[in-house]
Amino acid sequence: MKTGNKFILHPSSFILALPLAVYFALALPRLTLPGLHNDEAAEAGLPAGQILDGQPISAFRDAGLPLGGRIYPLMVQDYIGALNVYLVLPFFALLGPTVVALRLYTVLVGALTLLCTYGFARRAFGTRPAFIAALLLAASPSFIFWQRQGVLVMSLTAALAMACLWAGAIWAQSNAKTAWRWAALLGLLCGAGVYAKLLFVWIIGGVAGALAVINLPIVIRYLFQNIKPHTPTPPHLFPHTPTLPDVFSFTAGLLVGLSPLIIYNLQTGGTLASVGGNLGTSFYGVNNADFFANLRGRWDQFQAVTEGRDHLWYLGGSFGNGGWQTALRLAALVIVGRAAFRRQRSRAPVAILLTLAFGVAQSAFTVSGLFPTHFAIFAPLWPLVVALACETIFNPFYEPMFMRLSGPPLSAFGVQRGRIGFVSMGMAVLAVGLGGLFARDVTVTLDYHRALQQSGGLGPHSDAVYRLTDFLKEAAAPVAAMDWGFAPQVRMLTRGGVSPVEVFGYSWEADAGFADRVSAALDDPATLFVFHVSQETIFPRRAAFEALVVQRGARIEPVTIISRRDGAPVFEVVRLNR
């Protein structure tokens, strides 16, 4: 509001400041830890650095947009778009192609997710549930550490998901003159989400399933009315009945958002081939026909990620907040209970709960693996479910049925100060419970930070990759990568000064071309061969390599071992001794 020459901001303008402050305090420390992961470099850092340095760009399947004699990538995998490559460019331009610059970008994507979560919830449900959802999300251990490595989990999809819901909420409340514009934006965001990562269809499918369940009784009543002689009134669908301009606008926006994916498949057919080739059993061995077994596994994973336990083992420990399971079960019970009694304003919370439920159910079918990181797209939804259930108690006018159940007001105990006297015992107990849930998440996140500082990261996330890079840079020799998990990082961190050639081949057993690729490297006596030690190996090639060396009448000479912070070996560097 403007008064004279002064601007007076409404207090609600600052409500998001606390969740953002908590989030940045937990997400920003020691951004170089854990170690840079293969996919962070391959799917954003390396090609972005190549673009800025004027080097040939590593375009997936050599497909992309030809400009100035270079190919600018459209995709980084058959099912992952190149959005991160281009969005991180300003950060690299300012700070250089570093790990800090890359992860600062993804942390800011997390802040955008918080903003969109708050914006959607405030538009659809009010300020209080929006604040609670944002605050709970800001402290979530899974959310924090997923955002720090946001390229790895494609955390941009969570921001796009909440932006879609926000745009959809505005569309539902718009008049006929402006609704088509929001429908177009909604379509654009949906298309961009699918382009960003194909699993965004879980969000679209979840929303579609939720709306189908809620609107089915409305459609049935409409069809029943249509049988009668009188002219039936048009059905009023939830959350809003789309008009023909809305449908056309949404479709146009969707096609624009999908256009990079469409162009890529016109060039290569890669996405279609990848999906088609993994429908039965995926590359990672997931049998999609065994849906219910997969669903049981997914449910276990979902419980783990909400609590922040198990899946973050690579940080150096496993901690967790078991309170989330109780909170989610009670929240679901309240939301479903209100819907069963057909209470006013009960359909929107049910829609959010069903979106999450249908999304998790769809995740049991995958063309890749059953990875816990896939749930990053749902990270804002489970805090939102809890926040919506809490509104039933915090707002006595929202659900009169719960007024008696929430206990007497504090004024009955002699507390008469202002609004505090109207606070019920139920409200006070719920506030304490939410505070405990939040505080435990903060504690768990700090526990992970301490463990990470000690370990430096484990497995493919080990910061040993930085020491490997320093060694190879100093050695200034040709490098052959004998396993997955470090070549893109070395190329990115040395800005192409060291370019390991991945000769191992992306198959579980050595392929037919393995011998030729290794022989070409063996022909140069200066070549350094980098292996993972046995317990860290992804694609085992040591035996096949040793057989080729024996055929040449040579032997393997150890050069160095690169270890983790606790002294456990990670990489072994060898050369050929003739």
562 and 432 within one domain: no
- Distances, alpha carbon 577 to alpha carbons 35, 326, 533, 552, 572, in Å: 32, 62, 20, 10, 16
Domain count, the chain: 2
Phi, psi of 118 (to 5 degrees): -65, -45
Q: Residue 414: pLDDT band by 50, 70, 90 thresholds?
A: very low
Q: Is 127 helix (H, G, I), strand (E, B) or coil?
A: helix
Q: Is the pLDDT of residue 424 over 70?
A: no
501 and 385 within one domain: no
Q: Is the pLDDT of residue 458 over 60?
A: yes
Q: What percent of the chain has pLDDT over 90?
A: 84
> What global pTM score does this model have?
0.93
Report helix, strand and coil shares of the chain as percent, to nearest 5: 60, 10, 30
Q: Residue 341: pLDDT band by 50, 70, 90 thresholds?
A: confident
First to last CA, the chain: 80
Measured from the Cβ of residue 462, the count of other Cβ atoms closer than 10 Å reads 28
In which residue are the tokens 């049988």 written? 227
Q: Is 57 helix (H, G, I), strand (E, B) or coil?
A: coil
pLDDT of residue 342: 72
Q: What is the pLDDT of residues 362-412, one digit of tens each?
A: 999 999 999 999 999 999 999 999 999 998 888 765 555 555 555 555 444
502 and 407 within one domain: no
Q: Is residue 328 part of a domain?
A: yes
pLDDT of residue 102: 99
pLDDT of residue 174: 95
445 and 475 within one domain: no
**What number is the average pLDDT over the span 178-200?**
98
Q: Is the pLDDT of residue 453 over 90?
A: yes
- Domain boundary residue, one of 393, 428, 452: 452
472 and 446 within one domain: no
Q: Is residue 6 part of a domain?
A: no
What is the residue-wise DSSP string for 374-443?
Answer: GGGGGTTHHHHHHHHHHHHHH-TTT-GGGTTTT--BGGGGT--SGGGGG-BHHHHHHHHHHHHHHHHHHH
pLDDT of residue 164: 99
pLDDT of residue 420: 47
pLDDT of residue 225: 75
- Domain boundary residue, one of 452, 471, 495: 452
Q: How far apart are CA 297 and CA 379, in angstroms?
A: 18
pLDDT of residue 230: 61
312 and 419 within one domain: yes
Q: Is the pLDDT of residue 540 over 90?
A: yes
- Helix H or strand E encompassing 572: strand 569-577
Q: What percent of the chain has pLDDT over 70?
A: 91
Joined together, the tokens standing for residue 404 give 């008696």
pLDDT of residue 32: 98
Q: Among 83, 266, 39, 42, which residue's Cα sits nearest to residue 191?
A: 83
User: Which residues span the domain enclosing 494?
Assistant: 462-577
In which residue are the tokens 């959802």 written? 133
527 and 388 within one domain: no
- Helix H or strand E encompassing 250: helix 244-267
Q: Is 71 helix (H, G, I), strand (E, B) or coil?
A: strand
407 by Cβ neighbours in 10 Å (0-12 / 13-18 / 19+) ranks as middle
Q: How far apart are CA 578 and CA 574, in angstroms?
A: 13
- Domain boundary residue, one of 452, 482, 502: 452
Q: What is the pLDDT of residues 49-67, one digit of tens each?
A: 999 999 999 999 999 999 9
Judge whether 175 and 59 are in contact, CB under 8 Å: no
Which of 276-290, 336-350, 437-451, 530-544 shows the lowest per-residue confidence on average (mean pLDDT)? 336-350
555 DSSP β-pair partners: 577
pLDDT of residue 224: 80
What burial letters (b/e) apply to 367-393, b meaning 16+ CB within 10 Å? Answer: bbebebbbbbbbbbbbbbbbbbbbbbb
Cis amide bond preceding 372, omega within 30: no
436 and 548 within one domain: no
Q: Is residue 466 part of a domain?
A: yes
**What number is the average pLDDT over the span 170-185?**
96
Joined together, the tokens standing for residue 557 give 């000479």
446 and 519 within one domain: no
- Helix H or strand E encompassing 570: strand 569-577
Q: Is the pLDDT of residue 415 over 80?
A: no
Query: Cα torsion at 297, 300, 301, 306 (round to 10°)?
Result: 160
370 and 275 within one domain: yes
Q: Are strands 479-481 and 528-532 parallel, antiparallel or unpaired?
A: parallel
Q: How far apart are CA 497 and CA 239, in angstroms?
A: 56
Judge whether 291 and 365 are in contact, CB under 8 Å: yes
Q: Is the pLDDT of residue 340 over 80?
A: yes
pLDDT of residue 406: 54
- Distances, alpha carbon 423 to alpha carbons 131, 271, 415, in Å: 19, 55, 9
pLDDT of residue 398: 56
In which residue are the tokens 């320093």 written? 470
Q: Residue 176: pLDDT band by 50, 70, 90 thresholds?
A: confident
Q: Is residue 7 part of a domain?
A: no
pLDDT of residue 426: 73
Q: Is residue 218 part of a domain?
A: yes
Q: Are strands 501-502 and 479-481 parallel, antiparallel or unpaired?
A: parallel
